[in-house]
Amino acid sequence: MAIRKDTSLGEIKISDDAIAVLAGGAVTESYGVVGMVSKSVIRDGFNELLKKENYSKGVIVKNTAKGLYVDLYIVVSYGVRITEVVKEVQKRVKYTLEKALKMDVDSVNVYVQGVKVVG
């Protein structure tokens, strides 16, 4: 489901994959995040972290009347405070999407799928 915006020059369509790449880039730049994983752990396998071109597997985007609704599936680094990492991810993704898309982001839900020792 693409997001549609009408402007004075015409219509703009933004695909969910484009939004997923924006959100995924913001997530992976956050402190304490090892990477993103697939939302379908059983079908896609847990062990593999997603690369940039596959971020759409780890991001769910819904467009509601209140704004965008985003679900993110991540793996965090061992030894970090998970609540602080999640808060930072939520703030960063919300800011990035609102700035890039000029749309309100209603909620950013973060699902921590695992903890990994980075070394």
Domains of the chain: 3-116 (3.30.70.1350)
Q: 37: which 2 tokens? A: 């994983």
Give the model's confidence band at 52: pLDDT under 50 very low, under 70 low, under 90 confident, else very high: low
pLDDT at residue 46 in the model: 52
More confident residue, 6 or 82: 82
| Token reading at 112 | 């921590």
What is the Cα–Cα distance from 13 to 4, expressed in whole angstroms? 5
Q: What single string gives the DSSP state of each residue in 51-90?
A: PGGGGGGSEEEEE-SS-EEEEEEEEEETTS-HHHHHHHHH
Q: How does pLDDT run across 53-98, given as a tens digit for each residue? A: 677 788 899 988 888 999 999 999 999 999 999 999 999 999 999 9
**For the chain, how many residues are written?**
119
- The whole-number pLDDT of residue 43 equals 52
Two tokens at 59?
A: 């991001």
pLDDT tens digit sequence for 26-50: 998 999 999 888 876 655 455 567 6
Q: Coil, helix or strand for 26?
A: helix
pTM, rounded to two decimals: 0.85
pLDDT for residue 105 is more than 70: yes
CA distance 44 to 119: 25
* Count of H-run helices and E-run strands, the chain: 3, 6
Question: What's residue 58's pLDDT?
Answer: 84
